[in-house]
A and B are shown apart, each in its own frame.
Chain A
Amino acid sequence: MNMHAQQPQRTGAETALLEAYDSRLSVLPGDGAVTVKRDNALEVLKAGLPTKRIEAWHYTDLRRLLTAVPQHDASAVADKLGALLDGSAVLPVLNGVSSANLPSVDGVRFERLEDKLRDGSFAPALEVQGTDDAIGALNAAFVADGYFVDIEADAEIAAPIELQNIQAGGQTHSRFPVRVGDRAKVTIVERQTGEGAGLSTSISHLTLGEGAEVLWIIVQDQPDDSTYLGQFNAALGKDSKLTLFFMNAGGRLVRQEVRVGTAGEGSDFQLRGINLLAGDTHTDVTMVLDHTKPHTGSRELIRNVVTGKARGVFQGRINVHQIAQKTDAKMACNTLLLSDDGEFSTKPELEIFADDVQCGHGATVKEIDHDHLFYLKARGIDEKTARGLLVKAFLAEVIEELEVEPIVEALEARLDQWFATHG
């Protein structure tokens, strides 16, 4: 007897995705092993998009929320952006297509991902991480391009590397595998933006060698009618250090997944994030962090500002494996609600199988302090400016901890820009 429930009727979005696969497969790069991986990914999609009954998607019912699936539009035009940080080596993916004109940086090798798909060498990386990995499946089925970045051991890369993924209203799927050699140091900026009601997925895979240090900054400011599904994966080598900063400041439907494993003893992961949520939008940040080796540390600090009818989600799951003694992990998620209709859901989870660890988490939700507001107004500062100052004050800590002056300034400028339109 078949115990499985009858497959529910496909939504418009699900049907559109399956049709898109049929029409796109012949033009997507890669064959053989790559096609096998794409077909496997499609099987995951055929089972239907995740609903709120899937725990990892409980607050973001993708099946219900994903309503628009535009086709890839090869004729659409996206423009390269000015770099967030001066002097960066910029690698743009415009409307899903990388540039043949690769920058030259000492100690770094760049490759177009399209080439790695065509020659089949990227096939093993197109593995979907379980049946709940909808973003992984969507991206593996359709990925067309991106960049591979390989940083040699002991290289200290002074110029930031900026990966730009700019959609132009259609459907685009990109990947950014990055390998950082032993003891190498680098700052990587990831820009996720565009124009029009696009559907964009993007997956990065970062591996840090022994003693490597990486600051990775994601700035996502998609237009308010677009869908963005992102996934950041990292494996941390022995004594390596990763600081991941993200800023979500746009998009109608956004999910940013962060999947990190402290694969090496003594490694350290720092997550700092800002969600600026406005309008009638839905933004989900879901982190899964595995402490799999002893003596590893992590701190997660997320600050959210919610206005309009925006809804936000942060799921932070920390798994401390039995072997991971002396783990030191702390997670905090603080929300400032600026409107009655905005909402933010926080779900911290600690699963600890080791007995000698320090782990903690905290979540708060508050409104703008009435007394603070009065004090500022009593000095002649108008309501809007005063609220702006207080919101920036709430977020300042997360940005200032990055400590690099040009980065702090660039991100504060982005904050001001967001506030000028949404404050």
Chain B
Amino acid sequence: MLEIKNLHARIAEDGTEIIRGLNLTVKAGEVAAIMGPNGSGKSTLSYVLAGRDDYEVTEGDILYNGESILEMDPAERAASGIFLAFQYPMEIPGVATMEFLKVAMNAQRKARGEEPLKIPELLKRVKEAAGSLNMDIAMLKRPLNVGFSGGEKKRAEILQMKLLEPQLCVLDETDSGLDIDALKIVADGVNALRSPDRAIVVITHYQRLLEYIVPDSVHVLYRGQVIKSGDKSLALELEANGYAGVIDEAA
């Protein structure tokens, strides 16, 4: 589903290269974990996948369902089924969460040539999804993410993911800022989305999240490259020995 080939990407403003020849393949139905120390390029990778224009791809390609997405803008990528759960979801004053959900869901439906959802159907879907994440529906009347706690923001991200039903989910440090109860709820939400025709990329710093979202593959990112891939036992090894061993091995 996702094939990243020799990807090089830099910060548009100052030309600093962050991703330096990254290769990664994630199949439909697979949950891939990307781990790595601070500054290894994890968040940059998530932004490059989502199409943020603060980064420039200088070499290589990203194929999604066999097609390059490099020329697509973020809205087109999202409408085609790519979803990024942000590490730091934006607070947007003045935009009610419910209104935002309606506009986003219908924008994606429109891009796929589907009719907009009628309000009762939309409300039903939102209520169901919010209920499964233990979210208070009253929260959705508030401006998007404004005044939400760290845990509420992450839950709101997963809520959006459930409602938008993407094919490729990229979760950037979704565990950061979560207490253990919230972590379980969020992980259950993600696990409920596991399906044979959906791929999930979980970017994380710690092994903890992977106890709840058990990955099919684990990839270690260091200095903008995948330096080692393995199964879930690789995550345990990293937890026990830190990144140093893997990094030395690759050097």
Q: Which residues of A contact B (CB under 8 A)?
A: 371-372, 374-383, 385-386, 389-390, 392-397
Contact = CB atoms under 8 A, between A and B. Distances in A.
Closest 5 CB pairs of A and B: A393-B94, A380-B78, A377-B74, A380-B108, A379-B104
A383 B100 contact: no
A415 to B, nearest CB: 12
Given A393-B94, A396-B94, A383 B73 contact: yes
B92 A380 contact: no
A247 to B, nearest CB: 17
Interface in B78-109: 78-79, 84, 86, 89-90, 92-95, 99-100, 103-104, 107-108
A301 to B, nearest CB: 14
Contacts, number: 73
Contacts of B160: 379
Contacts of B180: none
Contact of B164 (A376, A380, A385): A380
B130 to A, nearest CB: 17
B52 interface: yes
- Please indicate which of the listed interface residues A376, A378, A382, A390 has the most CB atoms of chain B within 10 Å of its own CB: A378
Given A383-B73, A389-B103, A378 B78 contact: yes
Given A371-B90, A392-B94, A393-B95, A377 B73 contact: yes
A380 B93 contact: no
- Please indicate which of the listed interface residues B53, B89, B92, B99 has the most CB atoms of chain A within 10 Å of its own CB: B92
Contact of B74 (A374, A389, A393): A374
Nearest to B91: A372
Given A389-B95, A393-B93, A378 B79 contact: no
A380 B79 contact: yes
Contact of A381 (B50, B84, B107): B107
Given A392-B94, A397-B94, A378 B84 contact: yes
A395 B93 CA distance: 11
Contact of B90 (A375, A382, A395, A396): A375
A375 B74 CA distance: 9
Interface in B27-68: 50-53
Given A371-B90, A372-B90, A374-B52, A380 B104 contact: yes
Contacts of A396: 94
B117 interface: no
A377 B78 contact: yes
A375 B75 CA distance: 10
